[in-house]
Every structure is written in C-alpha cells, then in structure tokens.
Structure 1
Amino acid sequence: MTTDPDLVQAFAPAGALRASINLGNPILAHRLANGSAGGVSVDLATALAARLGVPLELVVVDTAGRSVDIVAAEAADVGFFAIDPKRGARIAFTAPYVLIEGCYLVREDSPVTDNTDVDRAGTRVVVGKGSAYDLYLTRELQQAEIVRAPTSPTVVKTFLKGQYDVAAGVRQQLESDIHGVPGLRLLGQRFMVIRQAMGIPTSRGEKAASFLARFVEDMKKSGAVAHALQTHGVQGATVAPLA
C-alpha cells in the first residue's frame, strides 16, 4: 500500500477511488445477479484501491464512449479502455494488460470472404458507437459506410434487423451473440488487436500516470491478470506482454 499523500490525492480526491466500469465490453465486465458489477476490470480496480489504501466506488456505464467521457471529465478517477490516439488527448493510458481480437461477421451467403473485401463502395459495416473498433475503422475504411449501433452488445441485433453487410466487434462478443443463430459466419482473420489498458485523466499528472503504469505491469507480472481471466471464464483474450 502506498503512503504517498500526493498519489492518494491524485487518484482519490473525493476520498474514494471512483472506477468507471464499462458493461458494454462483457469480456472484461458484467452485471452480477445482485445488481453490482464484476469481472476483470472490477478485480483490477479493487486491487488498485487496496494499493492506494482507499475505498472503491464503481461508476457503471454501458458504453466505452461514455466511460471515456466520464473519466476525462473527472467524474471518475480511473477507467478501463482500449488504447486509441483520439482518446489519448484526454486520457493517460498505461500499457495494455489484455489483448482482444476485433473481427468481422457476415451472412453465410455473403460475397465477403476476406478482410480485404470489406472496404468497398456500397458495403455497410455496423459498429458499436464510440468503441475502439469504431474509432479504428473510421480511420481505416475509405469506401465502406459505417453504421453505428447504440452499444457494442447491440451490434449483431442492428446488423440483422437492418440487413447490413458486415458487423464488426470483439470476437468473443460476436461468437456469443450468434450462438444458435444459423446462416452467419465470422471471417477467419482479425482486423485489429484491441489493446485494453487502464487510464486516468491527463490532468492528474505524470506521477499518477507512472504509478498506474507500474501497477498494471505488477498485475501482469504477478499473474493477477491471468488469474482474473481464468476466474471469470474469459476465453480468447490474452495477457499482454510486459512493457
């Protein structure tokens, strides 16, 4: 536990560590039966609060974009995000603690058989609004049209209802959403690696950012991240290499 009052003040100016937890990424966070949140993100937030010696307060949201906005506005002190340069203007990121694959989903009879087939005029790609893969594909796709579903968990529903061409998302989320639904297939290759990191408002300063970066490396090195993935039954995500 740290005894540095400057660090405690930087992370918990309100007296408790307010951690933004995004339920829109069910790989890392989910709603428990009692209504509270659980998952890898919550485990890491709990460990960080213990290291700071302060209580933990969860600020639970449904989308990545909302989580970024809350932390950037300092309505929460720390969050769990996919690293993206656009977000980096307001959030100081650690190195990633988990790597997740972003993949494409199409209908069985779709002429799209390869990632290179997606970026063509007339192709409509459904993404979760404000997600890491929304930001990435907005930069990368030059000809295809992006259609934004309200949240990542609603991507497949939007894709099916609107008769769109491609759905993009986290592989595990897509696989879960299409379980038992015939006539759909994932493309074989990932289109990106989503690097999940922790982050704080840039206004909290370099000392706090460095402390958080060391904390994430400690969690990876000690096996805490791997243990959390195993405990919560997360398949497909891997612990990121040490920075």
Structure 2
Amino acid sequence: MRLAQRIAIAIALAAAAVPAAADSSRLDAIVAASVIRVGTTGDYKPYTFLDKAGDRSGFDVEMARALGEALGVQVAFVPTTWPNLAHDLQSGAFDIAMGGVSITPERQAIGVFSDPYLRDGKTPIARCADRSKYQTLSDIDRPGVRVIVNPGGTNERFDRARLHQAEIVVQPDNASIFDTLAAGGADVMITDASETRLQQTLHPGTLCAIHPETPFEVAQKAYWMPPDPALEAAVDRWLRKMKDTGALEALETKWLP
C-alpha cells in the first residue's frame, strides 16, 4: 500500500476517535472507536521510519502495534514532525506519541509520560577519521566546527543551549542527515546514543559513535500522552507486562544495537 493511501486511512480512523467527553476518559473514547491514534515522525531510526514503499517500521512501531493488541483496538499511525509534536499532542491530533520521545520538563508541562522504557543520552557521532577531534563539548564548540541537527526536537534544544561558537547547521530532512554527515556536509552531530550506535552499523567504517556509553547528559525515553489517568495507567500496565514477559527485551535486541 502506498504512503498516501496509508495516510488517508490514518486520517479516516483518526476522525472516528473523537476526544473523550467530559464524563469519560480518553481511554473510553479509544475503546469505543476501536482505534488508538499514534503520533510518530517516521524519520528516527531505530524507533520509527518509513521505507521507500511507505511502510512504517522500527522499535516503537512494533511497540505501538503491541499496545493496540493489548487494548483490543486497531492502530492508526498519525504523521507528525518534531517541530509540531507538542502542538499536535495538545490539539488532540493523536492519543499517544511513540517514536523515541525523550522526557523533558517542557513536555511534562503539557502532557504525561508513561514509565520510562529506555535510558539514553546525547553523545556525538562523526566520521571515523575525525572521532578523536570531538570527544568533549569544548572540542565541538569551536569556530569552524559544523554541527548538523534536525529541527524542533531535543537535539536542537541541546545544541542551542550548549554550543555558542560552533556553527549549527539545521537540516530539515532527518532521514538523510547521517548521509550528509558521512559525505562531509557537516563535521559532527550530537544525538541520542542509541541512534549513534545504529548509524555506526549502517555506515561501517565511515561514521563512528563517540563514547555512547558515557553521554554528555542522560535522558529517558517514554510514551507521551495528553493528561488522562485511565490511559496513562493502561499504558503503564501494558509496559510492565512487556517487561515481565521478556517481550520488551526481545524488541530491544532486535532494534537497538
């Protein structure tokens, strides 16, 4: 099925999942509509990405399908972007955001997070020949160093807060950002350690993750929802079951190198 068809189906299903009434929960609305709308960017390997045929894959794509099965509902993937993620959550475009979303105070102020499922953190990745040059933030934050970043997410927020002399190069197409880095279009990227490990395997001998075991700062990934105690509790129960049965570990082994 082509991407345009999939998006059309997602929008149609989303229209069915109307916001919960004042006397019921969002979880009630999800069950009544028999669909949970999952907001995901589709540009963030290994969590969520689209192949050339428009098929959606990744760790959190499989987790979303497992959540839908646990709730006994269909899953409608709703396309979003990192710059629009918070707006889309607040406007009710989807019921839950899944796709490598990090817990931040800004996000906690407008929504609730599930229990964390992964410990992660910001660390550099560069061409292997240059990895010794970019070990510390001081190494990176120098005039003439080009730091590439995708807009609107925690990567850009980290760079803007920590880098004052390096050139920040914003590339909207997150899906091709590592190809740009490998080709010399930038010198380094600072992103989640899990992503640097994967991209190192996808660009063997060209890109190298730099100390992913000791990131510059630690963060946790979780699932982000509009405030609704019933939905939050249901997601946490499902997540605990995924951990207890070993299903979460199996998906981590498959997707997170």
Equivalent residue letter for 1:106:
A
Give yes or no for contact 2:58–2:255 (8 Å, CA) kept in 1: no
Deviation at 1:178, TM superposition (A): 3.1
**Alpha carbons of structure 1 residues 18 and 161: separation in structure 2 relative to 1, 3 Å:** same
Q: In proportion to residue count, which structure has more strand?
A: 1
Q: Does 1:70 align with 2:95?
A: no
Give yes or no for contact 2:148–2:181 (8 Å, CA) kept in 1: yes
- Name the residue aligned to 1:21: 40
- Name the residue aligned to 1:87: 107
Equivalent residue letter for 2:107:
R
Give a deviation string over 1:37-83, Cα, whole Å, max 9, x none.
2332122222322333322212245x434444433321111111122
User: What TM-score comes out, normalization by structure 1 length?
Assistant: 0.75
Q: Does 1:167 align with 2:189?
A: yes
Q: Distance in 1 between matches of 2:75 and 2:209?
A: 39
Deviation at 1:27, TM superposition (A): 0.7
Q: Does 1:198 align with 2:205?
A: no
Equivalent residue letter for 2:135:
D
**Alpha carbons of structure 1 residues 48 and 100: separation in structure 2 relative to 1, 3 Å:** same
Give a deviation string over 1:116-150, Cα, whole Å, max 9, x none.
31233453311121233222333333443422211
5 Å-filtered alignment, 1:225-236, equals 225-230=248-253, 233-236=254-257
Give a deviation string over 1:144-172, Cα, whole Å, max 9, x none.
34222113333234446674332223213
Q: Distance in 1 between matches of 2:186 and 2:61?
A: 35
Poorly superposed stretches of 4+, deviation over 6 Å: none
Q: Distance in 2 between matches of 1:67 and 1:174?
A: 24
State, as a whole percentage, how many aligned pairs show the same letter: 24
Deviation at 1:18, TM superposition (A): 0.8
**Alpha carbons of structure 1 residues 140 and 69: separation in structure 2 relative to 1, 3 Å:** same
Deviation at 1:6, TM superposition (A): 3.7
Equivalent residue letter for 1:112:
K
Name structure 1 gaps, 5 residues minimum: 237-243
Q: Does 1:155 align with 2:208?
A: no
Q: Does 1:40 align with 2:84?
A: no
Deviation at 1:91, TM superposition (A): 2.8
Q: Distance in 1 between matches of 2:240 and 2:160?
A: 31
Equivalent residue letter for 1:20:
G
User: What TM-score comes out, normalization by structure 2 length?
Assistant: 0.71
Equivalent residue letter for 2:156:
D
Q: Distance in 1 between matches of 2:130 and 2:210?
A: 12
Deviation at 1:219, TM superposition (A): 2.1
Give yes or no for contact 2:198–2:256 (8 Å, CA) kept in 1: no
Equivalent residue letter for 2:90:
A
Name structure 2 gaps, 5 residues minimum: 1-23
